[in-house]
Chains A and B, each alone.
Chain A
Amino acid sequence: MNFGFTEEQELLRAEVRKFLDARCPLEQVRALMESERGYSPELWASLAELGWLGLTIPEAHGGAGLGWVDFVVLLEETGRTLFPSPLVSTTLAAAAILDAGSDEQKARWLPGIADGSRVGTLALLEANDVLAPSGIALLGKPDGDAFLLTGKKHFVADAGAANLFVVAFRSGAGAEDLSLAVLDGGAPGVSVKSGPTMDQTKRMGTLALDGARVPKSALLGEAGRAWPAIAKLFDRGAIATTGEIIGAAEGALALTVQYAKDRIQFGNPIGKYQGVKHPLAEMYVDVESTKSLLYYAAWALDESPGEVPRSASLAKAFASDAFARIGIDGVQLHGAVGYTAEYDIQLYLKRSKWARPAYGDSDFHYERVATLGGL
């Protein structure tokens, strides 16, 4: 019985924290928010060198061969400082190839992801924003032994940065007749349109497909049988998002605790008053409990696949609501300065708004928990 991290994992955490504190403190995050690209190619290259882009990719394909518990350690730290980069999107794209791709496909794409030359992302959702087979309407038109895709995929994370898209589409009339394929960002008929976002550290856009060709060699798994793989990607996405939530929630709590110690009113630091200290204690309770739920879900991904759906949903549901409260309370406890652009707490509030719907909000996941529990 050991529900804790290994020495290597603690070392990884320390290394990532040191790197981010030195190379991408919040002033640098703010500069990247203002940039058109939204992230730093130099830092991206450093992540590749440090082995973090290929953290979960097997060594045979140029990665570090670690698991999702390790990845969660990395994400807690990138979340803590709101580090802007397509790290999560790229790791999810790699997971799609690892989960459903052939050995040949893995050899073809994974080394490029691990070395930083490929920025990947998932293009699963459509305008209806539904995380279920019924949400996927984009039709693949058979064309010899290929499919032609015409339509749009919405809410694609880091769409502007990506050059490798994992696209879900419908390949037949059956309810779950779905397929998954890798599309090159530079292929004919593939274009991206990004819009301004509330949380500028998290970019998003629409993938437009106009007769984009999916050859058989780009299909991940068999045509028409991709739903289980897509469902697993939703779970991975929920777990990765929760990883970033935890880091950011702890970051917001730390900022607010410090403010409560520094700010003097009525002759005392405001953190002396129970009206301030109790909401901070509640934040701590939420952070601790989310951590437990998340670590277990990540462990299940690595070691106990049957437990993934329930544990991923419990973690993301609890985290979505908790972080939403923490974002609001964090700003409120700062008083008027919390509302200013100058103070950092508002950046965490915006991150909480991004995190809530990503890979399912609490209503979605609690409903799933109810169903899994036999209701």
Chain B
Amino acid sequence: MDFKFTPEEEAFRDEVRAFLDQNLPESANKSDFAFLVDWNKKVRAKRWVGFSWPKEVGGGGGGIVEQVILKEEMAKRHAPPLGMCFMGLAWVGPAIVQYGTEAQKQRFIPDILDGAYQWCTGYSEPDVGSDLAALQCKGVRDGDHYVVNGQKIWTSIAMWSKWMILLVRTDFATESKHDGITCLLVEMATPGIEVRPIKNMSGTSMFAEVFFNDVRVPVENRLGAEGQGWQVTVSALASERSSIAEVTAMFRKLEELRELAQKSSRNGVPAAKDARVRRTLAVFEAKIEAMRLNGLRYLTKQLKGEPLSSETSVNKLHRAELEVEMGDFALELCGNASQYLRGADEAVDAGRWASGALNWPEVVIGGGTPNIQKNIIAERILHLPKD
């Protein structure tokens, strides 16, 4: 065991820190649009957007350890994201890099790296959530087009996106339901697409229903072969899996909860002296530290070239649990004042805990519910019979 980094890796860390010292001063207004545009230009020039992607497509060609260092340092300073096109960078781009035609790469990758517009993801359907491979949205080949009919739901930022990565069923007769799925890249302005935003419980709209009515998608916008859609979208991506950015953010959130405990009281005594408050915060610390160290063990496996299968579900479960518990615990510390939202005189920290406690489903349900993660562990790691 050795937790040290090589001199080259340390030099890279110094480079990242120096960049942050220069370009992200304490005084920076991270919600200011002009600042973000400027930030994006600078990180793009460093090739830190798409850092793990091959250099020939415009990425940074960064190694796994460098990715970890970059993410960790960025998260420590609460830096704005590296790149503006979240889904494009997270999974659309990597899928195009791996399965796309040369023309598709040239058409889409530079825009994703520049953050020219947003991508959204058309996977879930009203009757198809956790059992994604059962999807029914239909694509029928008609000359050099696919004609798409059906509905998607829980499509994050569909209303602000220019393009969608879409899964449709092109073959209803395959033996395995996974084999009839095809991946299409669809321009949201295509006639026949209707987007209806869904208001969530915290009062904002982040996701939408998307309806497809005889939408014609050129065959040249198919990603991968017909029937290969499942593979295209779920194929393991080569980027690092240490969850370092999430862990760093969670340690920061724990620090904020400690501060909240220091200034709160329970039953007339300081909350920070309450045995259950102290224990609860320490339990959070143990789980976050376990996530950090689990991540380093997975990273080690990746570095040794050993296959990582479903172990990362462990950290997904921890994170889901922590998101809910930490958000809820903040409300407990605030007591009755937890009910006041921004604008109320007695709101604690301008109501941030109140809104924070309602946002967990994004993390906990998006990308696989905890129950699905448990199925994955039970079936793929413990080899229990499939449900």
Interface positions of A (Cβ within 8 A of B)? 1-5, 69, 257, 260-261, 268-269, 271-272, 274, 276-278, 280-282, 284-285, 288-293, 295-296, 299, 303, 314, 317-318, 363, 365-367, 369-370, 373-375
Contact = CB atoms under 8 A, between A and B. Distances in A.
B129 to A, nearest CB: 16
Given A284-B314, A318-B290, A366 B297 contact: no
Contacts of B107: none
A285 B297 contact: no
A227 B301 CA distance: 40
A282 B287 CA distance: 14
B374 A281 contact: yes
A370 B375 contact: no
A2 B2 CA distance: 5
A260 B387 CA distance: 13
16 contacts: A1-B3, A3-B299, A260-B384, A271-B385, A277-B387, A284-B381, A288-B294, A288-B311, A289-B291, A292-B297, A295-B297, A296-B293, A317-B282, A366-B278, A370-B278, A370-B279
B378 A278 contact: yes
Contacts of A274: 371, 374-375, 387
Nearest to A271: B384
B236 to A, nearest CB: 20
A366 B283 contact: yes
A257 B287 CA distance: 24
B275 interface: yes
Contacts of A282: 374
Given A1-B65, A289-B314, A299-B1, A284 B282 contact: no
B285 A69 contact: no
Nearest to A370: B278
Majority-rule SS of B interface residues: helix
A9 B203 CA distance: 55
Contact of B384 (A277, A289, A375): A277
A293 B289 contact: yes
Contact of B278 (A269, A277, A278, A375): A375
B384 A261 contact: yes
Given A269-B385, A272-B386, A317-B282, A1 B317 contact: no
B296 interface: yes
Interface in B247-299: 258, 261-262, 272, 275, 278-279, 281-283, 285-287, 289-291, 293-294, 296-297, 299
B19 interface: no
A292 B294 contact: yes
Given A281-B374, A366-B278, A373-B282, A3 B296 contact: yes
A285 B278 contact: no
A271 B379 CA distance: 9
Interface of B: 1-5, 9, 65, 68, 258, 261-262, 272, 275, 278-279, 281-283, 285-287, 289-291, 293-294, 296-297, 299-301, 303-304, 311, 314, 317-318, 371, 373-375, 377-379, 381-387
B300 A257 contact: no
A290 B378 CA distance: 18
With most chain A CB atoms within 10 A of its CB, the pick from B68, B262, B275, B283 is B283
A293 B275 contact: no
A329 to B, nearest CB: 13
Given A3-B299, A4-B297, A366 B290 contact: no
A-B pairs, top 5 by smallest CB distance, nearest first, are A292-B293, A289-B290, A366-B282, A277-B378, A370-B278
B1 A257 contact: no
Given A1-B299, A375-B261, A280 B378 contact: yes
Contacts of B9: 1
B293 A3 contact: yes
Contact of A277 (B275, B304, B379): B379
Contacts of B281: 370, 373, 375
Contacts of B68: 1
Contact of B3 (A269, A278, A299): A299
A284 B376 CA distance: 12
Contacts of A269: 384-385
A4 B297 CA distance: 7
A374 B384 CA distance: 44
Given A318-B290, A366-B282, A370-B282, A278 B303 contact: no
Contact of B371 (A2, A4, A278, A375): A278
Contacts of A5: 1
Nearest to B378: A277
A369 B282 contact: yes
Nearest to B306: A4
B33 to A, nearest CB: 37
Given A3-B1, A277-B374, A366 B279 contact: yes
Contacts of B304: 4
Given A1-B3, A257-B382, A367 B275 contact: yes
Contacts of B318: 285, 289
Contacts of A365: 282
A373 B290 contact: no
Given A261-B385, A278-B375, 14 more contacts: A1-B3, A1-B5, A1-B65, A1-B299, A3-B3, A257-B383, A260-B384, A269-B384, A272-B384, A293-B289, A317-B282, A366-B283, A367-B282, A369-B282
Nearest to B297: A3
A100 to B, nearest CB: 26
Nearest to A368: B282
A6 B294 CA distance: 18
A314 B384 contact: no
Nearest to A253: B382
Contact of B378 (A281, A291, A314): A281
A245 B331 CA distance: 35
Nearest to B381: A284
Q: Which of B2, B65, B293, B318 has most A Cβ within 10 Å?
A: B293
Given A284-B377, A288-B314, A314 B303 contact: no
A257 B286 contact: no
B385 A272 contact: yes
B262 to A, nearest CB: 8
Contacts of B262: 375
A366 B379 CA distance: 33
A289 B378 CA distance: 16
A365 to B, nearest CB: 8
Contacts of A276: 384
Contact of A289 (B261, B287, B301): B287
Nearest to A269: B385
Contacts of B371: 274, 278
Nearest to B271: A375
Contact of A3 (B291, B300, B386): B300
A281 B382 contact: yes
B363 to A, nearest CB: 17
Contacts of B299: 1, 3
A59 B324 CA distance: 51
